[in-house]
Structure 1
């Protein structure tokens, strides 16, 4: 998935995609170790006015994961977004080794810019253990290959959503239903927003990287379910949209070698905040992770 000259492919709307773009995301998550529990990350050159929340969460999980024995997998994280991240300067991640038990390991990390915390996260890791096993079923949805591509969705959008303009695409993204931003949408309380994701290339064989990429993905479309419930769109009606807090539970080993379905909805919105919940399913049907986020949503 690389152009003949070795550069990235271009989508139908001229946006870079393919293996080089995915490789750039992998490099973004490969933090520089400054000291034993101190790491530094950067933002991509083509960044919006603030750092994408999924990037900070994924980089923070990389930092904590690199202080944990390899036989322990992350099973949950709980995070708060405190200040907007500045994409023009590096982010320093300071890890606190809260506890190392026989079965569980707990870590806390603070992301710092300009001498102030912009993000905090607690995460818990566990050795693999046997136990009871059940999960809800994969929703009945069309196969991802039968759905329009992101560039096709954008071509049908009127007006064009500004938040997707010219941003490189490391993932193939297929909305199951027409996104609310493709036109003047009517409010649809209780609507489910379901999106298939697949890396647009091959990820390295690194279990921690795969779960961190899922954390990155978890913040991409989650608040869409809040916006679709009220028929509003960023740039048209929404003057400010930001993640406030974020929690994830990882139920089973994460591999992103194939499509994953992100099934989200919004049970409540009030006080300038909207709550969204999501579930990640493997294409095989396995429930991989559950996500809950509250976001700031200010409308005209």
Structure 2
């Protein structure tokens, strides 16, 4: 399947093996390990399949335990922790080679009206004011490392338009924050659950890089060992992932071989859609 969006939607459509037991596969893209966002999204899909459709996911918390093998299917086991009057809780464990590689806890809630407030979206250039991926490749990445060039040239279902590009082009120590516009390259449709799953998929992108800005490094640097350790996400309002969203990130701390990054996803109209937090392994290779 050549279209990357069709391929993404296919791998997110899990096969049901038995009640509360599902199987997912990985795309054949030559990666040595499964992308973390894929496992998050597939585990969330498994949870959603066991929850009434009128209850939407409002938060998830997960841990990455072992690297996923892209050549082997992943089996997702769902534990129905609780079905309450307003909230539903699920725990999912992802298995490969007889071992747990990942776990996710998700909470779902029926729709309620209540208090409303949010922080304002940062004032940054709009996506139509920024160079697209092809322009970035042609204008700014001629002198970038081969790893960075391969990353930008690969066909992907998610499009990014970074507000600034310094971290791709220099080894300077930069302030640990970044803003990028992001969207799915194809039409995902109106299904709220599918939009939530794709949002979870893309939420794992660029977070570890933000934590490395302060050290003049990136996840493409061969001197760095980088891997996601945990991931948390809160869904505040419905998402439309085929439309541009601003993904703003900052890293308040790195220590002990780990870096923490926080993220917020805003719609074009400034609506805060979701919040993200992730701690990752970022250590010099020995």
User: Given the two structures, how large is their TM-score scaled by the length of structure 1?
Assistant: 0.90
Determine the C-alpha separation between the residues in 2 that align with 1:258 and 1:290. Answer: 18
- More deviation, 218-227/234-243: 234-243
**Structure 2: segments with no counterpart, 5+ residues:** none
Determine the C-alpha separation between the residues in 2 that align with 1:196 and 1:179. Answer: 16
**Structure 1: segments with no counterpart, 5+ residues:** 1-6, 9-19
Q: Map 1:30-179; keep pairs closer than 5 Å.
A: 30-155=13-138, 156-157=140-141, 158-162=144-148, 164=151, 166-179=153-166
SS in 1 for 2:119: coil
The Cα shift of 1:131 comes to: 0.6
Native 8 Å contact 1:57 1:215 kept in 2: yes
Say which of 184, 192, 201 aligns to 1:207.
192
Determine the C-alpha separation between the residues in 2 that align with 1:151 and 1:273. Answer: 33
SS in 1 for 2:37: helix
SS in 2 for 1:212: helix
CA RMSD of aligned residues (A): 1.6
Deviations 1:190-247 (A, max 9, x none): x321111111121133211100101111111112211112110234354311000000
Native 8 Å contact 1:193 1:224 kept in 2: no
The Cα shift of 1:56 comes to: 0.2
Native 8 Å contact 2:137 2:152 kept in 1: no
Residue 187 of structure 1 corresponds to which residue in structure 2? 173
User: Given the two structures, how large is their TM-score scaled by the length of structure 2?
Assistant: 0.94
- Structure 1 runs of 4+ off > 6 angstroms? none
SS in 1 for 2:251: strand
Q: How many residues align?
A: 281
Native 8 Å contact 2:56 2:111 kept in 1: yes
Residue 16 of structure 1 corresponds to which residue in structure 2? none
Native 8 Å contact 2:208 2:219 kept in 1: no
Native 8 Å contact 2:203 2:276 kept in 1: yes
Determine the C-alpha separation between the residues in 1 that align with 2:147 and 2:128. Answer: 23
